[in-house]
Chains A and B, each alone.
Chain A
Amino acid sequence: MIIVENLVKYYGKFKALDGVTFEAKDGEVLGLLGPNAAGKTTTMRILTTYLPFTSGKAVVAGHDVVKEPIKVREKIGYMPENPPLYNDMKVKRFLSFVGKLRGLYGKKLADRLEYVRDVCQLDEVWNMYIAQISKGYRQRVGLASALIADPPVLILDEPTIGLDPRQIRYTRELIKELGGNHTVLLSTHILPEAEMTCDRVAIINKGKIIAVGKPSELAEKIRRVNAVRVELSGPQNEVEKALFELDGVIEIRPGERPNTFVVNFEPKWDVREQITRLANERGWTILELTPIEASLEEIFLELVVEEPDRIKAGVND
């Protein structure tokens, strides 16, 4: 649905995008994950035909962004970060205006207005001037304006920024729901959000895509070391010493709760078996033995902080 190939974008001398390539399949929610100034917003603006690019190819819903910009715009619902709204219009009038610009009229327009009013929870501000409403509501109006024409592709730039926790949760669920029938490209630097809402994640940093894949796939690929959280009932210093002497253990760290340890070990050695045997031998009870999956946050920090060459060697799809 969205195909981006080798996008390069220079702002004057500054290279903002350095050969960005990724694909969003029909009906999936793809997250663009990266720190600030990674190139997320630039990529999105290129896809929505707002920004030209230096070289490469971008195709949305089968239409080339350069050759058929109007068709591309028809197919995309775009919600920029800090959505631009006309302050002197009322919410209803603004959404009606956006709807009409996208070819919605009469009954269809009225139906869609009802729909976005409901889905984006705009009842309270429906007849207020946009200048008067809070930031959270502004975000929701921005989202409504992207949804109103029911476009097949949704491009959302930091959709939950500025919302309170309740609204954030609601918006994330909404995005997940929209997933099946729409292709959603969203950008965020909130890692748990990407984990929660996205089918796949593309990590971008300094204008390059560092990794693409399902959050769980990425976790498997990146983590060369497995980890386990263990709590045993024996005297803790003995427990620690015994754990350290197991085969394949790299590191033992105290866990968050008292009397727990996090054991990092080489993938070949499954220490869980060894821990069970150890507990039997010493007569300790295994109070907890939980495998730890690297969270997206850890992957992200590892990828983004390390040297790109080293990462490419281990990670490329």
Chain B
Amino acid sequence: MRKFTTLLSKELGQFFSTPTFYAILAVFIGVSGFFFYNIARYFANYCMFTLQYKFQGFNVPLNVNQWVVRPFFINLAVLALFLIPIITMRSYAAERAYGTAELLLTAPIKTSQLVLSKLVGGLILFMVLVSTTILFQLILDHYAVGGLDWGPVWAGYLGLLLIGFATIPLGQFISTLTKNQIIAAFLTFAFMLILWIVDWSTLFSQTKLAKIVGYIGMAPHFNNFAKGVIDTSDVIYFISAGILGIFLTFQSVESWRWRGA
């Protein structure tokens, strides 16, 4: 356990001590802020617009959660498509490229400790970035009439955490396959993109195969979380995807031992 925490603190230390991280943080806050601003602004305008009808007798209550929080989380999930490859690209590729894989493989640590430390490190990093958006929820809570319904908000964050858990192992697995970080990032992005939109391809087909393929798509599963619905089948989807990724990463690293890193 101690070796795990040593490895984890090394991962986090490497992330947080580089200027790259802070650049990513700044850009992320900027872009997510931009998304939030647009959505909130649109909502505010629409509210003003529908206010007229109130005077004419129509009561059209617009739900902040439905109109702001949900689209905002979906935007964040799409943002994650870009973020995850950046977070995971260096995890194993850098170790091989700089030769420090030799250090790790000749140290008395188990491969599982190594793999899990990188996974948890990546997850912590991802959640640190995502949690900066709490600020926006607080703003909504402050200005919305009657306050914000926090339940769906937490559901949304849980969904993001699960996306992280499912895709970070995938990205790290791809990182074990190459020494080139750019290729790792690009491949990860490509896979994530495909996983995200694969359900579109089955839109006009009714066969059983289409349903299976469509189920693999991440977007519909995440939508439930964005709505505020925690469906155990969605949770299982993300968790099992993550476990598959962890398994593949573990096997890949083990194979370095008999293939040569």
Chain B nearest CB: distance from A53 CB in Å? 10
Neighbouring A residues of B13 by C-beta, 8 Å: 89, 93
Give the complex CA separation of A145 and B103 in angstroms.
Answer: 10
> Which of B39-47, B51-59, B104-112, B219-227 forms part of the interface with chain A?
B104-112
Can you give 29 A-B contacts (C-beta < 8 A)?
A: A48-B106, A49-B105, A50-B102, A50-B105, A52-B260, A70-B109, A71-B108, A74-B108, A76-B106, A82-B99, A84-B100, A84-B101, A84-B103, A86-B98, A86-B100, A87-B98, A88-B14, A88-B17, A88-B18, A93-B13, A100-B2, A100-B3, A100-B6, A101-B3, A101-B7, A101-B107, A101-B109, A102-B107, A103-B2
Chain B nearest CB: distance from A285 CB in Å? 62
Interface residues of A in 53-69 (CB under 8 A from B): 69
Give the complex CA separation of A130 and B14 in angstroms.
Answer: 13
Give the complex CA separation of A86 and B3 in angstroms.
Answer: 17
Whether A97 is near chain B, meaning CB under 8 Å from some CB there, is yes
Q: Are A97 and B110 in contact (CB under 8 A)?
A: no
Q: Are B6 and A70 in contact (CB under 8 A)?
A: no
Neighbouring B residues of A294 by C-beta, 8 Å: none
Q: Are A105 and B107 in contact (CB under 8 A)?
A: no
Interface residues of B in 61-115 (CB under 8 A from A): 98-103, 105-110
Neighbouring B residues of A74 by C-beta, 8 Å: 108
Give the complex CA separation of A52 and B109 in angstroms.
Answer: 17
Our pick among A52, A89, A103 for the contact of B258 (Cβ within 8 Å) is: A52
Chain B nearest CB: distance from A13 CB in Å? 15
What is the interface of chain B mostly: helix, strand, loop, or mixed? Answer: helix
Give the complex CA separation of A161 and B6 in angstroms.
Answer: 31
- The residue on B at minimum CB distance from A69 is B257
Whether A98 is near chain B, meaning CB under 8 Å from some CB there, is yes
List of 7 A-B pairs having minimum Cβ-Cβ separation, nearest first? A84-B99, A100-B6, A73-B108, A74-B108, A84-B100, A52-B258, A101-B107
Whether A78 is near chain B, meaning CB under 8 Å from some CB there, is yes
Neighbouring B residues of A97 by C-beta, 8 Å: 6, 10
Q: Are B257 and A98 in contact (CB under 8 A)?
A: no
Q: Are B108 and A85 in contact (CB under 8 A)?
A: no
Neighbouring B residues of A50 by C-beta, 8 Å: 102, 105-106, 261
Neighbouring A residues of B261 by C-beta, 8 Å: 50
Neighbouring B residues of A234 by C-beta, 8 Å: none
Chain B nearest CB: distance from A281 CB in Å? 67
Give the complex CA separation of A102 and B3 in angstroms.
Answer: 8
Whether A51 is near chain B, meaning CB under 8 Å from some CB there, is yes
Give the complex CA separation of A161 and B151 in angstroms.
Answer: 63
Chain A nearest CB: distance from B24 CB in Å? 16
- The residue on A at minimum CB distance from B99 is A84
Neighbouring B residues of A89 by C-beta, 8 Å: 10, 13-14
Chain B nearest CB: distance from A88 CB in Å? 6
Q: Are A103 and B102 in contact (CB under 8 A)?
A: no
Our pick among B18, B101, B108 for the contact of A102 (Cβ within 8 Å) is: B108
Give the complex CA separation of A74 and B107 in angstroms.
Answer: 7
Interface residues of B in 8-48 (CB under 8 A from A): 10, 13-14, 17-18
Give the complex CA separation of A25 and B43 in angstroms.
Answer: 79
Neighbouring A residues of B107 by C-beta, 8 Å: 73, 98, 101-102
Give the complex CA separation of A285 and B42 in angstroms.
Answer: 112
Whether A80 is near chain B, meaning CB under 8 Å from some CB there, is yes
